[in-house]
Amino acid sequence: MKRNRLSITVLIIVIFLIGSFFVEKKETVKEKMPTVGVLQFVSHPALDQIYKGIQAGLKEKGYEDGKNMTIAFQNGQADQSKLTTMSQQLVQEKKSDVLIGIATPAAQALANTTSEIPIVLGAITDPVSAGLVKNNQKPGGNITGVSDKSPVDAQFDLVTKILPKSKKIGILYASSEENSKYQVEEAKKVAETKGLTVKTFAVPSSNEIAQTVQVMTSEVDVIYIPTDNTIANAMQTVVSEADKTKTPIIPSVDTMVEQGGVATVGINQFDLGVQTGKMAGAILSGEAKPATTPIYTFKTGDIIINQKQADRLGISIPEDIQSKAKIID
C-alpha cells in the first residue's frame, strides 16, 4: 500500500515535470519568434515588387510573417535622416535577427548601424563600390545578398536592333545615387563598343527632372535610364516630357517599361526579391552565414516590350525580338 502510494506520487511528479517542460518550451518558442527587419529606401514600383518577392522568398524557406517570424518593415521615403533613425529602431527596439536593405542607401544606413547583425542586400547594383562588401565572392563580414547589376550590354544591343538609326544615347540619372554612377560608367564603356555615343545628364534632385528631359529630347535620339531610384520614382514625369517629342526611353527594368519605357532587357524585380528573401531565410535558420555566402548576381534578363508605347512612337519591333519578348500592353 505504502509503496503504491509512493510510486503514484513519483508518477505525478514526473508527469508534472514533463508537462511543465513542454509548456516552458512552447513559451520560449513563442518568445523567440525571430524578427526580420526590412528597410526600403523609397516607394516606387520596382522596390515595391522586390519587397513582395522578399516575403515570398522567406515563405519558401518556411518563414511566414505573424506565424513563425515577424517582419518589421520601414520605408525611408528617400530621406537620409529617416533611414538613420529607422535603422537604429530596427536594431535597438525591434531587435531584428536579420536585416534586409532594399536599394543602396537603405543598405548603407543599416551597415552604418550594425556590424554584427546579418544584413541581406536587396537588389544593390554594386555592393563593392557602395562600400558594403570587400569582395563579392567572399563578403567576409555581416553582409551578403543580391546584386541587380543590369545587363547593359544586352540592353544596348537591343537599342541597336529596335532603334537602328539612334546613335546618340542620353543617360538620365540622379547625381546623389552611387548605384547609378557605377552603371553610367559601365554604359559609357559598352556604348563605345557598339558605335553609340553617350551623353550623361545628372540631376541634383527630382525637381530638375522635367527640365532636364526637355533638354535631352533636343540633344539625343534615345533616353537611357539606369536602375536609379530617384528617376524610377518620377517615371511619369520623364515619360510625359519625352512623349512631347516622341523620344523613346530605354530603361533598365520591367517596371519602368510598364510605366512608359519602350523596351528593355531586365531582371525581374519580383525574382530579385524572392532570391533576397531566400538568402535571409537561410541565414535565419543557420543554414548560411553572410561572411561565406557570395553575392548572388543574375546572369540574364528578359526582353520586355511595351507594345502600346512602341506603336505610339512609330517603332516597329523586329519579328525575331518580338517572338522572344514579354509583351506588355
Residues that bind ligand TRP (CB under 6 A): 46, 103-104, 123-125, 148, 179, 227-229, 232, 253, 269
Q: Which residue from 125, 162, 167, 129 is spatially nearest to 145, judged by alpha carbons? A: 125
Nearer to ligand TRP, 174 or 282 (CB): 174
Residue 50, classed as helix, strand or coil, is helix
Nearer to ligand TRP, 69 or 295 (CB): 295
Closest contact distance (angstroms) between CB of 155 and ligand TRP is 13
Closest contact distance (angstroms) between CB of 102 and ligand TRP is 7
How many other β-carbons are positioned within 10 Å of the β-carbon of residue 262?
Answer: 28
**Cα–Cα distance between 270 and 48 in angstroms, integer?**
9
Q: DSSP secondary-structure letter at 316?
A: P
Contact criterion met (CB below 8 Å) for 193 and 219: no
Contact criterion met (CB below 8 Å) for 221 and 166: yes
Contact criterion met (CB below 8 Å) for 69 and 63: yes
Nearer to ligand TRP, 180 or 247 (CB): 180
Nearer to ligand TRP, 113 or 229 (CB): 229
The residue at minimum Cβ distance from ligand TRP is 46
DSSP H helical ranges for 143-300? 152-162, 178-193, 209-219, 229-232, 235-243, 254-258, 269-284
Nearer to ligand TRP, 148 or 271 (CB): 148
Which position has the grid cell 550594425? Answer: 114
Q: DSSP secondary-structure letter at 315?
A: P
Closest contact distance (angstroms) between CB of 27 and ligand TRP is 40
Nearer to ligand TRP, 36 or 257 (CB): 257
Which position has the grid cell 562600400? Answer: 131
Nearer to ligand TRP, 78 or 317 (CB): 78
Burial of 218 (0-12, 13-18, 19+ CB in 10 A): exposed
Closest contact distance (angstroms) between CB of 121 and ligand TRP is 8
Closest contact distance (angstroms) between CB of 14 and ligand TRP is 58
Closest contact distance (angstroms) between CB of 123 and ligand TRP is 4
C-alpha cell at 305: 516590350
- Residues 6 or more apart whose Cβ sits within 8 Å of residue 211: none
Closest contact distance (angstroms) between CB of 249 and ligand TRP is 13
Nearer to ligand TRP, 97 or 126 (CB): 126
How many other β-carbons are positioned within 10 Å of the β-carbon of residue 258?
Answer: 17
Closest contact distance (angstroms) between CB of 118 and ligand TRP is 19
Please give the torsion angle defined by the CA atoms of residues 107, 190, 306 and 314, in that order, rounded to the nearest 10 degrees. 150
